[in-house]
Amino acid sequence: MIRRAFTMRLKPNALAEYKRYHDNIWPELVAEIERSGIASITTFQRDLDLFLVSEIADEAAWDKLWNSEVHKRWAEVMQPLMHLRDDGIVEAGELAEVFHLTTNSNGGVSAEVVAVSDMTPVAVAERIAESIASENRGDEFLAEPAPEATPQEPSEPAVKPGRKMARRKTKKSADKKKTPAKKVHRKQATKSRRPKPRPAGKATKKAAKKSIAKKSAAKKAAKKKSTRKKR
């Protein structure tokens, strides 16, 4: 689809009459516009300036319409309302297209970007009507809510063989480290395991008695000597 745009200029105080005619456009003129290959016509106004935007099937669409009998009659009705050139023809100028974008807009963000040349105005209107209808029905609220995700227990990470060996070693070393109470218990156990001293035999008793007797005899002799010296 090709887009064409023109500028025209109204005479002062002619806007109301221009709008009245276009609100009651002739049915035969609409049929001729359709036969010429013009899909849509939109007119915007600012002060006395008019901006006509159209979508056409081929470049010759407007030439076909302007040369038709019904449009010539329509031009005679519009001529008193329009600003004319010196040669008596309606002053109009073609506009160059700078930018155009077509989206699947329904009041939200659309993930689809539609090429401007892939959709006809009828398709665009149908898509807009569908989006409005679905919004009025509240389709987005009819969908079943997604099931709530049940919390899963964290699974233990897979341990490599080397890590298993390291874990065993650390476990053994941890077992070796005992608490102070256990150490005391072990010491007591070692003390109880030590062999008790055997009772001394008869020979050792006799030797001990002899040494005691010798010591006492030596003391007595020492006392006698000391008494003799004093005398």
- C-alpha closest to that of 39 among 26, 27, 55, 52: 55
pLDDT tens figures, 39-92: 999 999 999 999 999 999 999 999 999 999 999 999 999 999 999 888 878 888
pLDDT tens figures, 87-140: 878 888 999 999 988 888 777 655 544 444 456 666 656 666 676 666 655 554
Taking the mean position of all CA atoms in its chain, how far away is CA 46? 44
- Backbone Cα Rg of the chain: 59
pLDDT at site 62:
94
pLDDT at site 20:
96
pLDDT tens figures, 169-216: 666 555 555 555 555 455 554 555 565 555 555 666 667 677 777 777
Residue pair 102/119 in contact by the 8 Å Cβ criterion? yes
The CATH-assigned architecture of domain 2-95 is 2-Layer Sandwich (3.30)
pLDDT at site 160:
53
Residues with catalytic function: 22
- For the chain, the structural domain boundaries read 2-95, 102-139
